[in-house]
Chains A and B, each alone.
Chain A
Amino acid sequence: MLIVIPELDEEQVENTVGRFRTVIERTGGEVGEVNNWGRRKLAYEIDKRADGFYYVMQFTAGERTLPELKRILRVSDDVLRNMVVKLPPTYANRPLPEPETAEVSG
């Protein structure tokens, strides 16, 4: 899961996320489901920002995927937060309650 800064527009966000997709695929991983939660309010301010674009990607990782992906996530200025979580093998894709999208201006 990652949070992209709210200053970008949808297209730029897609580009940013696409970059990580390439990283995963280039290092021998495979991207599964990608969920765009859209622009959401943050539970607390991060770097003076009250909202951000949430993305959830499911992927498998090759040997080099994680160090490389984490490194790139860390140096990406347009990523506010990121978290890589190992899912249990039994993980079922339960539909989550539709996240409320923050109606924010500017």
Chain B
Amino acid sequence: MGGRRRSGPSRRERPVKSKPCVFHKENIAYVDYKDYNMLRKFVSDRGKIRARRVTGLCPQHQREAAVAIKRAREMALLPYVVGR
């Protein structure tokens, strides 16, 4: 278990999430599907949408980012699968 951001041995308490969601931080109200370069940060190199624990997004923005990625895929801005 190479836990990231685990704060000490207090396994009972939830680890303090130090990083706030990037969309909140940058004050972006609308996750735009046209901004595919930004969305690229949230997909793996295989083209899969990254899990929330990896992206560190809040529930609202994770959802919006997922929708935006799916739209971008539909318009061939992002791939459905990379390789094979």
Contact = CB atoms under 8 A, between A and B. Distances in A.
Interface in B24-70: 29-30, 32-35, 37
A88 B29 contact: yes
Given A44-B80, A96-B35, A97-B37, A81 B75 contact: yes
A46 B76 contact: yes
A46 B79 CA distance: 12
Contacts of B33: 85
A16 B27 CA distance: 37
Interface residues of A, number: 19
A46 B76 CA distance: 8
Tell which of A1, A46, A91 has the most Cβ of chain B within 10 Å. Answer: A1
- Classify the interface of chain B: helix, strand, loop or mixed: loop
Interface size class on chain B is: 10 to 19
Contacts of A5: none
Tell which of A85, A88, A91 has the most Cβ of chain B within 10 Å. Answer: A85
A85 B71 contact: yes
- Classify the interface of chain A: helix, strand, loop or mixed: loop
B30 A83 contact: no
Nearest to A2: B75
A83 B71 CA distance: 8
A40 to B, nearest CB: 9
6 contacts: A1-B75, A46-B76, A52-B76, A83-B74, A83-B75, A85-B33
Interface of B: 29-30, 32-35, 37, 71, 73-80
Interface of A: 1, 3, 42-44, 46, 52, 56, 81, 83, 85, 87-88, 90-92, 94, 96-97
Q: What 9 A-B pairs come out closest when comparing CB atoms?
A: A42-B76, A43-B79, A43-B76, A88-B30, A90-B29, A44-B79, A97-B37, A43-B78, A96-B35
